[in-house]
Structure 1
Amino acid sequence: DNVPSKFWLKNDHPEEISCGGDHTAVITGHGRLFMFGSNTCGQLGLGSEINVNINKPTAVKALKSEKVKFASCGRDHTIVCTWSGRVYGAGSNQEGQLGLGHCDDTNTFHLLHPFSDHAPIKMLAAGCNTSAALTEDGRLFMWGDNSVGQIGLGTESYTSEPRDVMVGQPVAWVSCGYHHSAFVTVDGDLYTFGESGSGRLGVFPDQLANHRVPQRVESIQDPVIQVSCGGEHTVALTKDNVYAFGRGQHGQLGHGTFLFEVPLPKALDHFRNGRVSHVTCGENHTAVITDSGILYTFGDGRQGKLGLGEENFTNQFRPTLCPRFLKYSVQSESSPEQFGQMFRNLPPLMSGFLNASLPLSRNIRISRTPSEDPCTSSLSSNLSSNDPPSPSLSLKSRSKTPLTLSPMFIFPDPPSPSLSCKFSPKKSPSPKSPKYASKEHLTPPQSFKSTHKLIPTPPVSPKPSFVKPTDDNQSPKTLSEGPTTPQTGS
């Protein structure tokens, strides 16, 4: 099944999601942490028996007294940060990636002590066996495996405690791939380090000898806003372009069918002069979100991770629009390994501005019409007639007691290090609910111009099952008459 499934959070809403190799973390608006997926190394932090998969979102009781702010899932480990500034880790620790000062695995979240003396954390990143934390004053800390220089500590093979990476200027963004890493400074300079094969570092040949320490990517002239590292490829975002480089045999670079390896950054033709707000990489696939909330995916299509339809498991060598999400404004996306369920909410980035420290306000509404997006030139070949452009979304509980239910959409498919996503359902005016935040929300979505047309045929998709997460280890109940989404009539 390549259709996103849903589950519901009672009287709460999802704020952040991070997906790892085979597990997922969800943070709610109330600061609760839910975990599910593989628990082979205790990476769910539930204190339960390892080697037992948890198929339902389960609250982490050990952190009940804390409000969780960020989470990042690596291949087999998880690190989280609370609003009080504490950082915790759980799961595999064979290379010291939990930062606990030893290399023993743990199935419960343990506190990392060093961060209590530093500025608040504004961003976390987790790779294969590596972890990183970025403070609000621009200091970068990394720890874990350094066998190929992926945490930038020169010849050291690993470190089990957070170490300050000497950069020379404040850092604004960090990403950990499988065996390489990258960061962006406040001046927009991009640095990469770690495994240098397949061109994933994007540096000139004479720089490769120093791959164990951060090297500036000199071929990108414009200031870089974001960077994301996948398995063997890297994607960087500037104000006007999206650059991809490294290995692309599955199409994860988005440059077409005949470019399987790109050693230096190359701009994607599809997004030239287009307004893109977020990029993220899985192991062998990539996702791009425009500032009007339209989601594109490309690369390895197995397990439905691209979200392009029930029958479309083929690789995509160029950015392909996800028509199912046209009814939402996608704000951010997360793409680890072969996961399709990689959604961790990150704040939307305005042009020329970067701030990853604050969660997005629940009250912000993002209005858009597809005709406003400059990146929809290939829309007619990608849209499915089964997906209406923007039906109103009404969530109702059939129980006698009113409930506040917030939908989570998860692509079904299991394992890449960390992409994220939050959906803001677009509402259409109705006689019963005339009040909106602004007049722009009273305007129905515009149709596409020229030959790009949407046929408002109601979707013919199976009714999803609805699962209510639980705060304990009891199996959640399946709602036989769960919330339904009204479909547009023909």
Structure 2
Amino acid sequence: MAEEGREERDSSSCRGGTSQGEGGGGGGENSPVRRVLVISAGASHSVALLSENIICSWGRGEDGQLGHGDAEDRFSPTQLSALNGHDVVSVTCGADHSTAYSRSRMQVYSWGWGDFGRLGHGNSSDLFAPQPIKALHGLKIRQIACGDSHCLAVTMQGEVQSWGRNQNGQLGLGTTEDSLVPQKIGAFQGISVKMVAAGAEHTAAVTEDGELYGWGWGRYGNLGLGDRNDRLIPEKVSAVEGENMTLVACGWRHTISVSSSGGLYTCGWSKYGQLGHGDFDDHLIPHKLNAFSKSFISQISGGWRHTMALTADGKLYGWGWNKFGQVGVGDNIDHCSPVQVRFPLDQKVVQISCGWRHTLAVTERQNVFSWGRGTNGQLGHGESADRNVPKIIEALSLDGSSGQLIESSKVDPSSEKSWVSPTERYAVVPDDNTQGQTSSSVRGNGNDVNVPENDVKRIRL
């Protein structure tokens, strides 16, 4: 029976055809081209939501973050069949885990690495297939943000739930205790939150009134509060020149925000130029980027140590750490000022997402591009090569030569072990107390020993 089921899934690979509107005939056997609605990049994996409720994931699968029921890497977009028919409207990647939200079912699903309770299921077990977060059932969710080891959800009413790792107060609950299930942030009582963003160990939020808040780990000024102290509860950022903020994003240890007038502000860690101010100096309060004085920023995304910004006229700019080409400008040197990313036929960009070492973009021509680190297949090109300029993901793109042929998972999640106890796997977690020490699985450079250079995060016993 299991083999029959697998054959059935293999034969149902997603293939798009010519749009009916183009041929003028309607009817026909060709199905409409599937549009990519949402893209999200994690540490070494990627997820996309397509029209017709198709969810695909690819890249590193060691921790179950792809949701296919196994721990295998996928080098091309592969349909996540476990959520078929669930009416998913959003997908979000954490570092090594993933989430999805079904509006009609009012249900959040999560899967992947479960340490510190980042999956929200009341334990620290890994999940290799999506499971509903019971504590969030019935809530109308506006947005979900996932960092390295913690997550947050904003409801339509502007309330915020948080869960996962909390050693520096990044959950905003007033403690440093991890939370295995979502809890409401009481400090926002009477304040309507519009959007949240999660970094490695810090969090930021923008309210409906345009106020910026920061909390959690603040050593590099990444909270924007003018000092290097941690905060256990959200605190309002006052030094933004009186501008209302509309967007916020977090990198590993820096924060990016956009004002109602389209100005871009950054603060925090800038050793690799990720703040974009033309230098490598940290900033303890948000500073406006002069490079965009004549542009209106419409979208932002923060990577591990790089940043991307999209202008209202569809131009994409990147800066920061570029060892693997994740800035996308044709070289592998760090950039401390914004540099424009070029696309074939000068396609305008409509959506971006930064992973730790790779970047994804969707263009107005309904093409998906990726660049940066590719060692685990997170670029979706069917290979493990790094790329320092955008390369089209054939299977997801209108201009792709594969006719939108998307692989289907050959694993039946119901026939596999869907969870793994933390006692069966050992997690190597970067610890700020290990400054100056060395580790067999976490290497660094000087003061960055807690920021691993390699792709090894877990040692199997």
Shorter-chain TM-score tier: 0.7 to 0.9
Match of 1:122 among 111, 119, 142: 142
Correspondence for 2:340: 321
Matched position secondary structure for 2:277: coil
**Aligned match of 2:317:** 296
Distance 2:230 2:318 in 1: 33
Matched, 1:17 2:17: no
2:354 pairs with 315, 318, 335, which one?
Answer: 335
| 1:285 counterpart residue number | 306
Displacement after TM superposition at 1:209 (Å): 5.2
> d(CA) in 1 for partners of 2:108 and 2:37?
18
In the TM superposition, residue 230 of structure 1 has moved relative to its aligned partner by 0.5
- Following the alignment from structure 2 to structure 1, what is the Cα–Cα distance between the partners of residues 250 and 96? 17
**Which residue among 408, 433, 453 is the counterpart of 1:471?**
408
CA distance in 2, matches of 1:95, 1:232: 20
Alpha-carbon distance between aligned partners in 1 of 2:159 and 2:342, rounded to the nearest angstrom: 40
Q: Match of 1:179? A: 201
The answer to which of 82-91 and 109-118 deviates more is: 109-118
- Equivalent residue in structure 2 for 1:250, among 272, 281, 289: 272
Residue matched to 1:218: 238
Query: Are residue 197 (structure 1) and residue 219 (structure 2) matched?
Result: yes
Take 1:116 and 1:462, find their aligned partners in 2: how far apart are those partners? 37
Q: Among residues 105, 108, 129, which one is paired with 1:87 in the alignment?
A: 108
Which deviations, in whole Å up to 9, do the C-alpha atoms of 1:44-65 show, x marking residues without a partner?
A: 11112x2x21112111111112
Deviation, 1:344, is 7.8
Within 1, Cα distance between the matches of 2:134 and 2:392? 49
- Counterparts of 2:221 and 2:195 in 1: how far apart (Å)? 21
For 1:73, the equivalent position in structure 2 comes to 93
Identical aligned residues as a percent: 26
CA contact (8 A) 1:26 1:344 kept: no
Partner of 2:123: 102
Alpha-carbon contact 1:16-1:343 (below 8 Å) kept: no
**Structure 2 SS opposite 1:227:** strand
Contact 2:367-2:392 within 8 A present in 1 as well: no
Query: What's the counterpart of residue 60 of structure 2?
Result: 38
* Cα distance change on mapping 1:27 and 1:463 into 2, 3 Å: closer
Contact 2:68 2:409 (8 Å CA) reproduced: no
Counterpart check, 1:413 vs 2:373: yes
8 Å contact from structure 1 (residues 18, 344) kept in 2: no
Query: Secondary structure of 2:407's match?
Result: coil
Matched, 1:265 2:265: no
Note the C-alpha offset of 1:189: 0.6
**Partner of 1:28 in structure 2?**
50
Q: What is the DSSP-based 3-state SS (H/G/I as helix, E as strand, rest coil) of the residue aligned with 1:289?
A: strand
Q: Distance in 2 between matches of 1:317 and 1:281?
A: 14
Instruction: Check the 8 A contact 1:334/1:344 in 2, yes or no.
Output: no
Provide the TM-score with structure 2 as the length reference: 0.73
Contact 1:93 1:103 in 2 (8 A): yes
TM-score (structure 1 length as normaliser): 0.69
Q: Distance in 1 between matches of 2:255 and 2:171?
A: 16
Letter in 1 for 2:149: N
1:41 is displaced (CA, Å) by 0.8
Q: Is the CA contact (8 Å cut-off) linking 1:18 and 1:343 kept in structure 2?
A: no
Q: Name the CA distance, whole Å, in 1 between partners of 2:340 and 2:99.
A: 32
Query: For residues 137 and 219 of structure 1, do their structure 2 counterparts lie closer, same or farther at Cα, with a shift above 3 Å needed?
Result: same
Distance in 2, Cα, partners of 1:29 & 1:138? 27
Q: Does the 8 Å CA contact 2:296/2:311 hold for their aligned counterparts?
A: yes
Aligned mates of 1:343, 1:462 — CA distance in 2: 9
Q: Which has the higher contact order (CA 8 A, sep 6+)?
A: 1
Query: Measured at CA, do residues 219 and 60 of structure 1 come closer, stay the same or move farther in structure 2, by a change above 3 Å?
Result: same
Matched letter for residue 98 of structure 1? L
Amino acid at match of 1:193: W
Assess if the C-alpha contact under 8 Å between 2:267 and 2:275 holds in 1: yes
Find the residue that maps to 1:337 and give its secondary structure.
Answer: coil
The one-letter code of the counterpart of 1:470 is E
Residue of structure 2 equivalent to 1:426: none
Other structure's SS at 1:70 match: strand
Residue aligning to 1:374: none
Kept after mapping to 2: 8 A contact 1:173/1:226: yes
CA distance in 1, matches of 2:409, 2:99: 21
Letter in 1 for 2:194: A
Ranges in structure 1 where 5+ consecutive residues have no aligned partner: 1-7, 346-365, 367-392, 394-405, 416-460, 475-490
Write the deviation string for residues 180-238 of structure 1: whole angstroms up to 9, x where unpaired.
Answer: 11011100010001111111111033xx6561111111101211011111011111110
For residue 47 of structure 2, what is the amino acid of its counterpart?
A
Query: How many Å separate the matches in 1 of 2:345 and 2:226?
Result: 40
Task: Report the Cα offset of residue 466 of structure 1.
Answer: 4.6
1:297 shift after superposition: 0.6
Q: Which amino acid aligns with 1:333?
A: I
